[in-house]
Structure 1
Amino acid sequence: MYRLIRTDSQNPDFKRLVSLLDAELAITDGEEHAFYDQYNKIDSIRFVVLAFQGDEAVGCGAIKEFDPQTMEVKRMYVVQTGRGKSIATGILEDLEDWAKEMSYSRCILETGVRQPDAIALYKKNGYSLIQNYGQYIGVENSRCFEKLL
């Protein structure tokens, strides 16, 4: 079992999980990591969900406003030992609920073609492939998704 809490990007558990995520992405993204990394700074993120098993934070996700109707899902991560337990789905659902509570009607996100588990997670949770948006337009290794809330 796990429990979720809502917080912000100043939370030390969130910062720790993001550093683990960035270490994994540096390997997965290879030479393209610097490009993606510049769009994943956490200092402006105000809406973070953390998943805990006992006293240990094992997963995170965040949303930030993209436009007045849309939240962008950012920084989704679950530690290796927590994977396969629906923790990421729980985090994602809570982020969507939070967005709805704030009257947003859509979530969007970007992930990489080298992250098949992430793509499967988003498809399983009702996200549809869309044209790459913003800084991801023309980036071959990016896949963008949306879900209407």
Structure 2
Amino acid sequence: MAIVITVETPLQDDVRAMVEELNAHLNPLSPPEFQFQMTAEQMAEPHTTVFVARSREGVATGMGSLKVHDARLAEVKRMWTRPAWRGGGVGRLLLQAVEALAREKGIHRLALETGGTDGFTATWRFYEAGGFRRCSAFLDYPDTEYSRFYEKLLIEEKAA
């Protein structure tokens, strides 16, 4: 299975379809007030880079985004691999592309928020296998049972 990861606009029909699929998957798992979904339009803003995984035939198989908050902090957003493509490393390739861009930009800390309920067990394992560790809530995310937070330090802070 040959997969190519490229930076693309989320304002394409097949990427919009993946955003809708991801939302449909997430919506039943947490109350709406504890879901922090970006629309395709928000994903197209300049501080967010969207990676799309495509098969050799050009079929969109997954997506992932890097949202830069400042010179020190960026966030993994909108990670999704279509069910038919799971287990083949698409998600891992997307996460590696997101992390590589964060490193290229000199980001110190790559963080993410994901669901905190049992429906997210595979997601937790995925990020932990990618070197992320649990952390406290960041930015303006509420610290609730419906969220779980992860981080990966890309540049170690020097003690003052």
**So what's the TM-score if we normalise by structure 1?**
0.89
Q: Unmatched 5+ residue regions in structure 1?
A: none
**Which residue in 2 is equivalent to 1:51?**
53
**Which residue in 2 is equivalent to 1:80?**
83
Q: Deviations over 1:18-42 (max 9, x none)?
A: 110001111222xx134414x5234
**Which residue in 1 is equivalent to 2:106?**
103
Runs of 4+ in 1 over 6 A off after TM superposition: none
**Which residue in 2 is equivalent to 1:21?**
22
- Alignment partner of 1:68 out of 61, 71, 75: 71
> 2:33 & 2:16 partners in 1: Cα distance?
19
Q: Which one has a bigger Cα radius of gyration? A: 2
Q: Unmatched 5+ residue regions in structure 2?
A: 155-160
Kindly, what percent of the aligned residue pairs are identical?
27
- Whether the aligned pair in 2 keeps the contact of 1:9 and 1:47 (CA below 8 Å) is no
- Whether the aligned pair in 1 keeps the contact of 2:71 and 2:108 (CA below 8 Å) is no
Query: Does 2:138 correspond to 1:137?
Result: no
Q: Deviations over 1:2-24 (max 9, x none)?
A: 11111233233321111100011
Q: Secondary structure at the match of 2:35?
A: helix
- Alignment partner of 1:121 out of 111, 118, 126: 126
**Which residue in 1 is equivalent to 2:93?**
90
**So what's the TM-score if we normalise by structure 2?**
0.83
- RMSD of aligned Cα (Å): 1.6
How many residue pairs are counted as aligned between the two chains? Answer: 146
